[in-house]
Amino acid sequence: MSVGPGFVLVDKATGWTSHDVVAKARTLFRIRKIGHAGTLDPMATGLLVLGLGAATRLLRFITDQPKEYVATACFGVTTDTLDADGEVLDRTPMEVGAADVAEVMAGYVGEVLQVPPMFSAVRVGGKRLHDLARSGHKIERSPRSVRVDRIGLEGFEPGVYPLVRFRVVGGRGLYVRVLADDVAKALGGRAHLTALRRVRNGVLSVENATGIDRIVALCREDRLDRLVLTPNQGLAHLPPVEVPEDLVGAVSNGRRLPTELVGSARADEPVRMVAGMRMLAVYRIRGDRLSPEVVLP
């Protein structure tokens, strides 16, 4: 069964890379053009949003949305990857309390600077950091500004190596494992993640996602279409603009339009151009005109 352009919400299991999920989806959906809205490390689980076909061009409007994670960190133990998949570099007991951790975490709300970890997909000089790390190289990385919208302690297991469970909502480019390690550094030690789960990407929730095993079963039953969100559904966070019938052809051809069509939309804010339940395009106010960002076939 062929499926149209749209989005699939996958509940990624531990041990899978994001690339593994995309490769599997290409086989199951029989579509070569598939992308995702933000990498999850192999150890991490949870929501991975896939874009199918022409919807890959719309993924950036999902990638830019806040992401929510639930994580557990072990304080006092650091690894080379800053998560449980790495090799332990040091163990130094940290006898800190829950109140200490919560107080430090509160200081990380807002714009913060993070140094990308060596084991990451960030490119430096045309090479990915994780490739350099695996070949034994460690290079200087410039700190990057990332946004933390909310962070809060949800559980604390005391001990010489306390386990800290927390929830964080942040913007694009946030490394939760670096955040955990930075909090530990502020308390005089180091940390690594033992668990990480992405539970939300914008308005899209892991509660509506499907595991790979179930996707395989639906493929055998020829029912994959039931998993696909239309572009209109997947981008429900963008303000909708109902296109008059006489302008549907103009929007489908990517013509610039008067800004009066969008009413109170803010300048430079993307909007969904819709005709009934069908999304025709994403437009944005540029100057005194409404200009196309992505036009769907």
Using an 8 Å Cβ cutoff, are 162 and 76 in contact? yes
Joined together, the tokens standing for residue 268 give 């430079």
Catalytic residue among 11, 41, 83, 181: 41
> Quick one: tokens of 199?
């539970």
For residue 46, which amino acid is it?
G
**Please, are residues 133 and 118 in contact by the beta-carbon 8 Å criterion?**
yes
Rounded CA-CA distance 137/97 in Å is 36
User: If DSSP codes are grouped into helix, strand and coil, which group holds residue 296?
Assistant: coil
**DSSP string for residues in 146-188:** EEEEEEEEEEEE-SSS-EEEEEEEE-TT--HHHHHHHHHHHTT
Phi, psi of 243 (to 5 degrees): -90, 125
CB 96 within 8 A of CB 187: yes
Q: Is 83 part of the annotated catalytic residue set? A: no
Neighbours of 105 (CB within 10 A): 20
Helices 176-186 and 98-106: angle between axes, nearest 10 degrees: 120
Q: Which two tokens stand for residue 165?
A: 């469970």
One-letter identity of residue 167:
R
Instruction: Indicate which residues carry an active-site annotation.
Output: 41
